[in-house]
């Protein structure tokens, strides 16, 4: 027992564990910082570049109606609440990938049917204003229509952020219907901003999203009163017969899975599966009576860790799953070929199983976040079962003797393979 610490030190040194894990630390720190900096960059300059090319978050203010008594002069405009707001937004997701980041681009069609009534006992002069609070060069505003009581109104947009305006006389009890529609493209979110100082009557807003279901709400936005999700997408609906004040409506549109965070998580956890891979590699060497030289272990460690270097760079140009398969085949194939040359062709099967256990299982645990605990539990159970089977085989005693020789003084240790 007194020699146990000394034996462990010899075992650790002769398997080259300190240098291997030092290399793990360098790779984990370097790659995690690289992927994180790419993600941070994507939230600033890259995000602005994406908006220039593919649209911006859409904020559509509700129209406002102001009036004065017909013929009156030097009077302030008074607000007139809308008696009806029936709005539909049909959006189709059009995801855009830049580097490691997927952006939630979407093409949409806006349709709004509005009405207001002169509830005064005298005729009024009305100004109906529909803000177009969008940058038309980025949103690609098109197919804009503007009708009042079924008659097309002239449209003269002069600035990037402009408005539709109708003025006219409305007699007592008369109702005016306004229809507006346009096409555009956006990024990340659609919000419909009601005037917080005016009551709301007859509101019906429907946001239909094709191509995704994992929507969210921005802070301060009122959740939909009805939600329907099916294979075609998601339908959000807000209906209110009467509200004493306007509230913001809308949603953050469905996002594609962020593979930058998945890669970062894989890299930060890499030292755990590498530890299992390293132990398995040492045991496989003992079973094949081969003590790995320093450069052999360094090359195997580098090939294993290169998977975590190659994956993010490939994923920046192709889809994550294609990049993952390519990195796994390249790095795993290199390791299998080298181990077969060192330990013989029979070592090919166990090294493939070792790679699957230390690369595929951790990836599944990161991808399937709701099943992480179950995946690791099943993996541990499978490892326990494998150990129980292994301890009943004659080769197990060979492994124990090999470990004892490896931790013994050099004059007694294994000579084959060289240390």
- Averaged pLDDT for residues 396-419: 52
In degrees rounded to 5, what are phi and psi of residue 203?
-85, 130
Q: Average of pLDDT values for 377-388? A: 83
Q: 357-378: string of b/e by CB count within 10 Å (b at 16+)?
A: bbbebbbebbbeeeeeeebeee
According to CATH, the topology of domain 56-252 is: Immunoglobulin-like (2.60.40)
What the block records as the tokens of 102 is 């997927």
The answer, yes or no, to whether residue 74 has pLDDT greater than 50, is yes
φ, ψ for residue 344 (rounded to 5)?
105, 160
Taking only the tens place, the pLDDT of each residue in 280-337 is 888 887 777 787 888 888 899 899 999 988 888 888 778 888 989 999 999 999 999 9
Please tell me the predicted confidence (pLDDT) of residue 108: 93
- Residue 104, classified by CB atoms within 10 Å of its CB into exposed (0-12), middle (13-18) or buried (19+), is buried
Give percent of the chain above pLDDT 90: 27
Q: In the chain, what are the domain boundaries?
A: 4-40+259-406, 56-252
Cβ atoms of residues 339 and 347 within 8 Å: yes
Q: State the pTM of this model.
A: 0.63
Under DSSP, is residue 117 helix (H, G, I), strand (E, B) or coil?
strand
What is the mean predicted confidence (pLDDT) over 62-73? 86
Are 187 and 47 in contact by the 8 Å Cβ rule? The answer is no
Are 298 and 20 within 8 A, CB to CB?
A: yes
Report the pLDDT averaged over residues 84-89.
Answer: 95
Q: What is the mean pLDDT of residues 132-142?
A: 73
Higher-pLDDT residue of 368 and 417 is: 368
Name the one residue in this structure whose structure tokens are 């997408």. Answer: 233
Tokens representing 378 are 């099943």
Residues shown for the chain: 419
Taking the C-alpha atoms of residue 331 and residue 307, their distance in angstroms, rounded to an integer, is: 6
Find residue 131's DSSP bridge partners: 163
**DSSP-assigned beta bridge partners for residue 187:** 105
Owner of token pair 């393979």: 417
Phi, psi dihedrals of residue 170, rounded to the nearest 5°: -125, 125
pLDDT mean across residues, the chain: 80
Decide if pLDDT at 41 tops 90: no
Q: What is the pLDDT at residue 1?
A: 43
In whole angstroms, what separates CA 245 from the centre of its chain?
Answer: 35
Strand partners, 178: 114, 148
Tell me 370's DSSP state: G
Q: Which of 191, 183, 232 is nearest to 210 (CA)?
A: 232
How far is the C-alpha of 185 from the C-alpha of 187, rounded, in Å?
A: 7
Residue 38: is its pLDDT beyond 70? no
Q: How far apart are CA 188 and CA 417, in angstroms?
A: 58
């Amino acid at each position: 027992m007194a020699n146990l610490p000394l034996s462990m030190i010899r075992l650790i040194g002769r398997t080259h564990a300190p240098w291997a894990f030092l290399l793990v630390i360098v790779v984990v720190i370097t790659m995690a910082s690289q992927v994180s900096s790419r993600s941070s960059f994507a939230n600033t300059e890259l995000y602005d570049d994406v908006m220039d090319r593919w649209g911006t978050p859409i904020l559509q203010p509700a129209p406002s109606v102001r009036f004065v008594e017909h013929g009156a002069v030097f009077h302030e405009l008074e607000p007139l609440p809308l008696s009806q707001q029936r709005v539909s937004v049909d959006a189709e997701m059009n995801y855009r990938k830049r580097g490691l980041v997927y952006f939630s681009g979407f093409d949409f069609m806006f349709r709004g049917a509005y009405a207001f009534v002169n509830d005064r006992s005298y005729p009024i002069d009305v100004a109906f204003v529909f803000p177009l609070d969008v940058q038309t060069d980025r949103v690609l505003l098109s197919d804009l229509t503007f009708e009042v009581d079924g008659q097309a109104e002239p449209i003269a947009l002069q600035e990037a952020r402009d408005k539709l305006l109708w003025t006219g006389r409305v007699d007592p009890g008369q109702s005016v219907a306004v229809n507006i529609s346009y096409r555009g493209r956006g990024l990340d979110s659609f919000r419909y901003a009601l005037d917080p100082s005016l009551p709301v009557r007859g509101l019906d807003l429907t946001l239909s999203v094709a191509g995704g279901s994992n929507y969210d709400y921005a802070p301060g936005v009122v959740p939909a009163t009805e939600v329907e999700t099916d294979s075609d997408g998601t339908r959000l609906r807000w209906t209110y017969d009467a509200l004493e004040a306007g509230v913001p409506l809308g949603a953050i549109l469905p996002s594609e899975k962020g593979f930058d965070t998945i890669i970062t998580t894989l890299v930060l956890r890499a030292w755990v599966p590498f530890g299992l891979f390293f132990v398995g590699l040492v045991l496989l060497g003992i079973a094949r009576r081969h003590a790995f030289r320093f450069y052999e272990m360094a090359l195997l460690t580098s090939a294993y860790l290169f998977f975590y270097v190659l994956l993010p760079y490939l994923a920046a140009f192709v889809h994550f799953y294609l990049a993952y398969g390519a990195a796994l085949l390249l790095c795993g194939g290199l390791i299998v070929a080298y181990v077969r040359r060192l330990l013989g062709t029979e070592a090919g099967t166990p090294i493939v199983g070792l790679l699957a256990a230390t690369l595929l299982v951790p990836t599944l645990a990161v991808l399937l976040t709701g099943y992480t605990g179950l995946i690791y539990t099943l993996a541990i159970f499978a490892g326990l079962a494998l150990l129980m089977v292994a301890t009943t085989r004659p080769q197990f005693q060979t492994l124990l003797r090999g470990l004892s020789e490896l931790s013994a003084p050099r004059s007694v240790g294994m000579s084959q393979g060289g240390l």
